[in-house]
Structure 1
Amino acid sequence: MPCYVNFKGEKVVPVEEGQTILQASLAAGIPHYHACGGKGQCTTCRVLVLEGQEQLTPPTSYERAIKNVKKFPDNVRLACQSRVSGDGVEVQRLIKDETDRYILINDSEDSTRVMGERRKLALFFIDIRNFTPFIEASLPFDVIHIMRRIFAIFRNAITQYDGVIIETAGDGLYAVFGLNSKIKQAAESAVLAGLKILADLRIFNNTYMRPYFNHTFEVGIGVHVGKVIVGNVGIGLSNNLTVMGYPVNIAARLQAATRELDNSFVISELAFRLLKNPPYSMGCSYINLKGVSAAYEVRLIGKPYEIELPTIAPDAT
């Protein structure tokens, strides 16, 4: 005799002996997500147990490991690991479509992060200069190899100073500092990470790129600070962490302005004032940023580019 599980709002399905809740729901035609193939290595099949929790088998070692990381309450179970020993079980799937990634399942502190929270962070953008000529002159696997080496330099510096990479795009990336510190320390860390990248890239050019590939790279870095929205909305890196807001756009514009200002590291005056031990600045400048009404005050704390960068035509819009 099978037991039955009521999937709230969907259907009541039979569960044969030895079947997991996931296997039973799939057999009944419920489109139950299971990204890892039902092996207990993801959380996409998780269900909220509304009734009959005592009729389920105890959590497996996979569930316990995930719970330690995700801090799920006891009534959230992995369907692929849960078997039914009696009737009266009612569950609710927590992931029902591609946009419904995270559901508010209780009033825990972590669940408030689903909706996002305002935080003051240091925002860090970096982009590789003169990468296209290298791609044009190199074999594809050489390009991939060098890209990995350069991004390792970026990642090591950012993580050393407690930064978090939010996303990568092409030959650049976006990171934030201050998720675990005050804003002054965050600004200091962002600058130290940027300066380390410049120094490490110079060593990489001299010891590896010049002798083996007859090429060198330069980067452009932009740093700004401001209040942004931080949330786990499923569209970024770092466990789906996303950071959005107007200051993010400013930081991206500052990185782009490194070409115009002929300096590898541009930081907003607002961020520069937070630094306890500010680095040498080549000067203060006011620049017009796309989409920003007033001229923006910035500091140049990098160096002029050694390679002449191509001029970018102004945006006609």
Structure 2
Amino acid sequence: MAYHVNFKGEKVIPVEESQTLLHASLAAGIPHYHACGGKGQCTTCRVLVLQGPEKLTPATIYEQAIKRVKKFPDNVRLACQSYVRGEGIEIHRLIRDETDRYIFIDSNEVDTKTVMGEQRKLALFFIDIRNFTPFIEASLPFDVIHIMRRIFALFQNAITQYNGEIIDTAGDGLYAVFGLGSKIKQAAEAAVLAGLKIMEDIKIFNNTYMRPYFNHTFEVGIGVHVGKVIVGNVGIGLSNNLTVMGYPVNIAARLQAATKELNNSFVISALAYRLLKNPPYAVGCSYLNLKGVSTAYEVKLIGNPYELKQSMPAPSIT
């Protein structure tokens, strides 16, 4: 059986009992924003019910959870969670503009999951080059670029060898993810193996190239964590750039930064460490109070102490 719902200022549409408001509005050509794909995990499809709230099915557990956090009034509902059970409903979409229409209706993008975002469990990998600032200060600009290319090639080779994906680079650091094509346990293993390979490759690079030709050596700081993140595309034409965002990403970045204070080149969260089938020897463990994180994080130290920690002035460490 079909009922009719008035989308105020837009159109009156038929809604079958088996359809959510979101499903019916999209079928009717209304560019209804739904960033999570209609799974009750965001608020972008929310509507204001102007008439007939009692003609909609009761709020689901997803709506109740969001309402507790966002403090929405009772007449604000998620279209992806609401089914119609009678006539006389009038609603107003709360998020709507032409940009939404382009992204979700007019765009030729084939993979809608990539456009809207998809929740995935991934291993998150951050790496930073230590003692790079002193090298910049003592070297010619083209030498710096040349060495950065060599080092980033080492990073890329190790990451791609273990099926990782580089997401972003910034200065002398890099952010990658593992698990886009595998389970989370395999992803954690791959991230650790890539990190261990990079540390070994840096040693070889120092001994065979940096010391003989530039009288300098490098070390790295690596942080690895696992968790649920949103994988999507920023959609602005920059080489189809993949974006991975979420709270666990911030944790991984802070673990990498903590390698300095812990004086160990590879810090992995205990959560990720427990996923490893053949975990490397941990020289120690610690509980970190990370900036912006309410609870202390247990971490394992699976790298090496920094050789230059005492001799390098703190302001020069990057």
Runs of 4+ in 1 over 6 A off after TM superposition: 106-109, 235-238
Contact 1:162 1:189 in 2 (8 A): yes
Corresponding residue SS for 2:276: coil
- In structure 2, what is the equivalent of residue 186 of structure 1? 187
Query: What is the percent sequence identity of the aligned residues?
Result: 80
Corresponding residue SS for 1:303: coil
- In structure 2, what is the equivalent of residue 276 of structure 1? 277
Corresponding residue SS for 1:270: helix
Across the aligned residues of Structure 1 and Structure 2, the Cα RMSD in angstroms comes to: 2.3
- In structure 2, what is the equivalent of residue 300 of structure 1? 301
Task: Map 1:206-221; keep pairs closer than 5 Å.
Answer: 206-221=207-222
Cα distance change on mapping 1:251 and 1:101 into 2, 3 Å: farther
- In structure 2, what is the equivalent of residue 133 of structure 1? 134
Distance in structure 2 (CA, Å) of the matches to 1:262 and 1:216: 17
Q: How far 1:239 moved relative to its partner?
A: 2.9
Distance in structure 2 (CA, Å) of the matches to 1:221 and 1:101: 39
The number of equivalent residue pairs is 216
Contact 1:105 1:111 in 2 (8 A): no
Distance in structure 2 (CA, Å) of the matches to 1:246 and 1:131: 28
The AA in structure 2 aligned to 1:306 is E
Corresponding residue SS for 2:240: coil
TM-score by length of 2: 0.64
Cα distance change on mapping 1:235 and 1:169 into 2, 3 Å: farther
Contact 1:161 1:190 in 2 (8 A): yes
- In structure 2, what is the equivalent of residue 230 of structure 1? 231
TM-score by length of 1: 0.64
Task: Map 1:123-272; keep pairs closer than 5 Å.
Answer: 123-234=124-235, 239-272=240-273
Q: How far 1:238 moved relative to its partner?
A: 6.8
- In structure 2, what is the equivalent of residue 121 of structure 1? 122
Q: How far 1:236 moved relative to its partner?
A: 9.9
Structure 1 window deviating more from structure 2 (291-300 vs 248-257): it is: 291-300
Distance in structure 1 (CA, Å) of the matches to 2:304 and 2:225: 18
Distance in structure 2 (CA, Å) of the matches to 1:271 and 1:177: 12
Q: How far 1:111 moved relative to its partner?
A: 1.4
Cα distance change on mapping 1:107 and 1:240 into 2, 3 Å: closer
Q: How far 1:132 moved relative to its partner?
A: 0.5
Cα distance change on mapping 1:214 and 1:235 into 2, 3 Å: farther
Corresponding residue SS for 1:180: coil
- In structure 2, what is the equivalent of residue 82 of structure 1? none
**Cα offsets for 1:244-297 (capped at 9, x unmatched):** 000000000000000000000000000000000100100111111110111110
Q: How far 1:237 moved relative to its partner?
A: 7.2
**Cα offsets for 1:204-245 (capped at 9, x unmatched):** 000000000000000000000000000011479773100000
Unpaired runs of 5+ residues, structure 2, are: 1-97
Cα distance change on mapping 1:238 and 1:303 into 2, 3 Å: farther
**Cα offsets for 1:159-191 (capped at 9, x unmatched):** 000000000000001000000000000000000
Contact 1:165 1:237 in 2 (8 A): no
Corresponding residue SS for 1:292: coil
Contact 1:104 1:111 in 2 (8 A): no
Distance in structure 1 (CA, Å) of the matches to 2:153 and 2:120: 27
